[in-house]
Copies of this chain bind each other. A is one copy, B any other.
């Protein structure tokens, strides 16, 4: 899944170059890193990228080694349930009983070997029973920005790893609830990573998201009749309900299991989160490109294209320079970038900076 807007990384992320098309952490785009990671488990020919029209060229450029037909553009974003449905149809026409993984393309995972091991375990689980398999992240803190997965004790051991039954999926909690989840030891973060077989997820759509299931059936029929996915998508994708896969399927299904992730994981949700992936200077400043701090600490300064960005006498700032735009924001206010982008969207003269 490579269709998000990643606006929290503005001004590096733009409409046509969202987070997964940037080397936010590392030298390659997040998408290319994701594909590289998966290819140890799934042959490259079987890796699909689902993106949007605006990002299609960027995804093609980021993944030159993927078959061109494997990069599929939604006419517009319809949230993750519709994207899952599209993936389902793409896999089904190749192999109607195959297991496939749905994975976000903008996460950072350094321990690739362990990741590949657990992704294999998830595939084995999906092939062993009619279950929806998810990978759950052990919570590092009482985060309110993720949904949670409550486990209900051991389900099976697969290739030496414990796989747990799932009691329920829950939406992003408030802080008190998140603290309780953390204290209970029963919860995982929902990182949006799923593995399932075509008929199992198809049944889940049929049981819990009848509208979507009907829409997907029409889309499948149209694509089959004409052989033209692009036309079928343009006509029918806009009619699909806009809903998350968590809400449409996971919260309602009872045949869910979770593979506890034992690899490092970070969704790098916004600028402040990049700090831990770089070595700071002696004052805790993370400096990328031609960046300087004079008498300040714990700043993140990103300056592209040989342009010098200098921070003097200030701490805890995020300063990001790109050729078109520069952002200066306090670390604690990174979420307010959204309000700025709203103003840009509303101003004809400034829309071009989105």
Contacts and interface: CB of A to CB of B under 8 A. Distances in A.
A325 interface: yes
Count of this chain's copies in the oligomeric assembly: 2
A212 to B, nearest CB: 37
Given A314-B330, A317-B314, A290 B350 contact: yes
A335 B343 CA distance: 33
Given A303-B326, A307-B326, A340 B312 contact: yes
A176 interface: no
A294 B326 contact: no
Given A310-B340, A339-B294, A340-B312, A328 B325 contact: no
A160 interface: no
A294 B332 CA distance: 14
A313 B330 contact: yes
Given A314-B333, A350-B308, A353-B308, A294 B340 contact: yes
A195 to B, nearest CB: 39
Contacts of A343: 292, 294
A309 B325 contact: yes
Given A307-B326, A312-B337, A312-B340, 13 more contacts: A290-B350, A292-B343, A294-B339, A294-B340, A307-B323, A309-B325, A310-B328, A310-B340, A313-B332, A313-B333, A321-B321, A321-B326, A328-B328
21 contacts: A11-B308, A292-B343, A294-B343, A295-B333, A303-B326, A307-B324, A307-B325, A308-B325, A308-B350, A308-B353, A310-B325, A311-B329, A312-B328, A312-B330, A312-B336, A312-B339, A314-B317, A314-B329, A314-B333, A326-B326, A328-B328
Interface of A: 11, 290, 292, 294-295, 303, 307-314, 317, 319, 321, 323-330, 332-333, 336-337, 339-340, 343, 350, 353
Q: Report the 10 A-B pairs with minimum CB-CB distance, sorted nearest first.
A: A313-B333, A312-B329, A308-B325, A294-B340, A309-B326, A311-B328, A308-B353, A313-B330, A312-B336, A313-B336
